[in-house]
C-alpha cells in the first residue's frame, strides 16, 4: 500500500485519512469474531484493568490480534503521515465494543489537567482505528470536524446542559451539530468518515472527533450483527513531547489506566515492535502517585 503526496496533503489539511482495504475480508472476520468472543466470555478478565467493553494493552495478551493489526505496513503509513522515521507505539492501544464517545480531542484530557506539551511543534502523534464494521446508518465509525486539528480545543470547559427542548431541537434541525457554536466554533465541515470494514482511518491526535452514532440517534436501533467493535493504535515521534504524553497517561486517575502504571512485560511484543520498525521508548522513571 503506497500513499501519495496528495494523500499526505489531504491528511495534513483535514486531519484524517481513509486507507482502503488494509485488512482482507478474512482478517476482518477473524478480528471481529475474536474480539466479540473475548468480550462475551471470561477472556476479557485476562487483565484486571479491562472491562467487558474495553480491553487495554491487548497486544501483550492477544498476540494473534497484534500480528494482524500491528504491521510494518501500518507503521510505514504512520511514518509517512507524521514525517518521522523514529516512531513509538504509545501504550494506549485498546479494543472497544459498543462505545460512542462524545465530541473531544484526544488532547482534551491533558489540556484539562493544565498540560501544554501537545501544543509544541514536536508533538507529532497519529491515531489509527480499525473499525470492524462499515460506518453506515447504524454508525460504526468515526465523525470529525475536518481541519479542527489546527484549531483550539473548545471542549475543555463544561458542555452546555442538554434539556428536553435542546434534544428535540437537535433532532429536528438538519446538521444540528455542525451548526452548533459550542461544538463547532469555527464552522468546520462535519464528516461521518465513510469507512468500510477492512479500511483503516488515520486521524490527527488533535482533531475534534466522536464515535458516529446511528442516524436515528438511538443506540438501541443498532442490530446485533452491527455491534460496533474497533481497535485503536497511537503512534508518536520518538521525542520528548511524546514522552511527556506517555508520562501523563500514567498519572490519569481512572482505574483503567492502572495498566499504564503497571505495564505487563512481553518479550514477544517487544520483538514484534522491532520487527515492524518501531522503537521502544526509553523507560520513564518509576511512577509515584
User: Residue 142 interacts with ligand AKG (CB under 6 A)?
Assistant: yes
Partners of 236 in the beta sheet?
A: 88, 125
Cα(55)–Cα(166) distance, rounded to whole angstroms? 34
Query: Which residue from 34, 59, 71, 106 is in contact with ligand AKG, where contact means CB under 6 A?
Result: 106
Cα(68)–Cα(167) distance, rounded to whole angstroms? 41
User: Residue 231 interacts with ligand AKG (CB under 6 A)?
Assistant: no
Helix or strand (DSSP H, E) at 4: none
User: Residue 82 interacts with ligand AKG (CB under 6 A)?
Assistant: no
* Cα–Cα separations (whole angstroms), residue 116 to 46, 211, 226: 35, 25, 38
Task: Supply the minimum distance, in Å, between the C-beta of residue 99 and ligand AKG.
Answer: 5
Cα(206)–Cα(125) distance, rounded to whole angstroms? 8
- 98: Cα separation from own chain's centroid: 14
User: Residue 101 interacts with ligand AKG (CB under 6 A)?
Assistant: yes
Which one of 99-107, 153-161, 166-174, 214-222 is the stretch in contact with ligand AKG (CB under 6 A)? 99-107
Cα(87)–Cα(237) distance, rounded to whole angstroms? 5
- Closest by alpha carbon to 81, among 2, 188, 172? 2
User: Residue 99 interacts with ligand AKG (CB under 6 A)?
Assistant: yes
Task: Supply the minimum distance, in Å, between the C-beta of residue 284 and ligand AKG.
Answer: 22
Q: How many residues bind ligand AKG (CB under 6 A)?
A: 8
Quick one: cell of 143?
465523525
Cα(284)–Cα(247) distance, rounded to whole angstroms? 7
User: Residue 125 interacts with ligand AKG (CB under 6 A)?
Assistant: no
Task: Supply the minimum distance, in Å, between the C-beta of residue 274 and ligand AKG.
Answer: 27
Residues in contact with ligand AKG, shown as a per-residue x/- string from 195 to 214 under the rule CB under 6 A = --------------x-x---
Task: Supply the minimum distance, in Å, between the C-beta of residue 211 and ligand AKG.
Answer: 4
User: Residue 194 interacts with ligand AKG (CB under 6 A)?
Assistant: no
Name the site residues for ligand AKG (rule: CB under 6 A): 96, 99, 101, 106, 142, 209, 211, 230
Amino acid at each position: 500500500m503506497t500513499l501519495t503526496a496528495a494523500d499526505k496533503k489531504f491528511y495534513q489539511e483535514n486531519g484524517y485519512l481513509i486507507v482502503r482495504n488494509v485488512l482482507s475480508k478474512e482478517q476482518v472476520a477473524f478480528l471481529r469474531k475474536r474480539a466479540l468472543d473475548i468480550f462475551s466470555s471470561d477472556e476479557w478478565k485476562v487483565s484486571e484493568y479491562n472491562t467487558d467493553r474495553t480491553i487495554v494493552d491487548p497486544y501483550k495478551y492477544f498476540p494473534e490480534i497484534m500480528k494482524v493489526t500491528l504491521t510494518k505496513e501500518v507503521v510505514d503509513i504512520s511514518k509517512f503521515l507524521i514525517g518521522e522515521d523514529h516512531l513509538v507505539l504509545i501504550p494506549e492501544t485498546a479494543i472497544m465494543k459498543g462505545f460512542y464517545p462524545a465530541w473531544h480531542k484526544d488532547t482534551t484530557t491533558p489540556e484539562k489537567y493544565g498540560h501544554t506539551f501537545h501544543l509544541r511543534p514536536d508533538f507529532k502523534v497519529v491515531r489509527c482505528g480499525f473499525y470492524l464494521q462499515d460506518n453506515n446508518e447504524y454508525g460504526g465509525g468515526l465523525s470529525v470536524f475536518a481541519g479542527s486539528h489546527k484549531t483550539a480545543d473548545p471542549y475543555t470547559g463544561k458542555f452546555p446542559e442538554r434539556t428536553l427542548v435542546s434534544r428535540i431541537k437537535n433532532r429536528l434541525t438538519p446538521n444540528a451539530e455542525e451548526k452548533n457554536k459550542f461544538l463547532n466554533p469555527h464552522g468546520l465541515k462535519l464528516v461521518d468518515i465513510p469507512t468500510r470494514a477492512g479500511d483503516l482511518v488515520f486521524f490527527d491526535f488533535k482533531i475534534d472527533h466522536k464515535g458516529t452514532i446511528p442516524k436515528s440517534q438511538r443506540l438501541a436501533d443498532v442490530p446485533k450483527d452491527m455491534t460496533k467493535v474497533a481497535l485503536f493504535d497511537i503512534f508518536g515521534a520518538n521525542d520528548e513531547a511524546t514522552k511527556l504524553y506517555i508520562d501523563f497517561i500514567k498519572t490519569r486517575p481512572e482505574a483503567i489506566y492502572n495498566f499504564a502504571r503497571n505495564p505487563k512485560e512481553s518479550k514477544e511484543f517487544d520483538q514484534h515492535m522491532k520487527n515492524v520498525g518501531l522503537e521502544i521508548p526509553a523507560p520513564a522513571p518509576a511512577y509515584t502517585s
